[in-house]
A = this chain, B = another copy of it.
Amino acid sequence: MAGRENRAFTWAFHLAKLIIVEIAETTESVRVRISAARAEGKKIGLIPTMGALHSGHISLIEAAAGQCDYIVVSIFVNPTQFGAGEDFEKYPRRLNTDLEICAANGVDLVFAPSADEMYKSENLTWVTVEKLTEPLCGRFRPGHFRGVTTVCAKLFNIVTCDVAFFGWKDAQQAIVIKRMVEDLKLPLEIVVCPTVREPDGLAVSSRNRYLSGEQREQAASIYKALQKCEQMVRAGVKEAEVVIKEMRDILTASRGIEIQYIDIVDVDTLEGLERVEGRALVAVAVKIGSTRLIDNIFVETVGR
Contact = CB atoms under 8 A, between A and B. Distances in A.
Which of A120, A153, A185: most chain B CB closer than 10 A? Answer: A185
A128 B126 contact: yes
Interface in A109-157: 120, 123-132, 149-150, 153-154, 157
Given A124-B131, A124-B132, A126-B130, A153 B31 contact: no
Contacts of A182: 120
A153 B127 CA distance: 10
Interface residues of A, number: 28
Contacts of A130: 124-126
Interface in A1-50: 27, 31
Contacts of A129: 124-125
Interface in A77-136: 120, 123-132
A132 B123 CA distance: 11
Would you call the interface of chain A mostly helix, strand, loop, or mixed? mixed
Contacts of A185: 27, 154, 157-158
Contact of A153 (B123, B124, B131, B184): B184
A183 interface: yes
Contact of A125 (B125, B128, B157): B128
Q: State the number of copies, please.
A: 2
Contacts of A131: 124
A124 B179 contact: yes
A160 interface: yes
B125 A187 contact: no
A186 interface: yes
Interface in A204-218: none
Nearest to A122: B131
A225 interface: no
Interface in A153-202: 153-154, 157-158, 160, 179-180, 182-187
A176 to B, nearest CB: 9
Nearest to A133: B124
Contacts of A186: 157
Contacts of A125: 127-130, 149, 179-180, 183-184
A187 B125 CA distance: 15
A124 B158 contact: no
Contacts of A31: 187
A125 B127 CA distance: 7
> 9 tightest CB-CB pairs across the interface, nearest first?
A125-B183, A157-B185, A124-B130, A158-B185, A154-B185, A125-B180, A125-B129, A157-B186, A124-B129
Interface of A: 27, 31, 120, 123-132, 149-150, 153-154, 157-158, 160, 179-180, 182-187
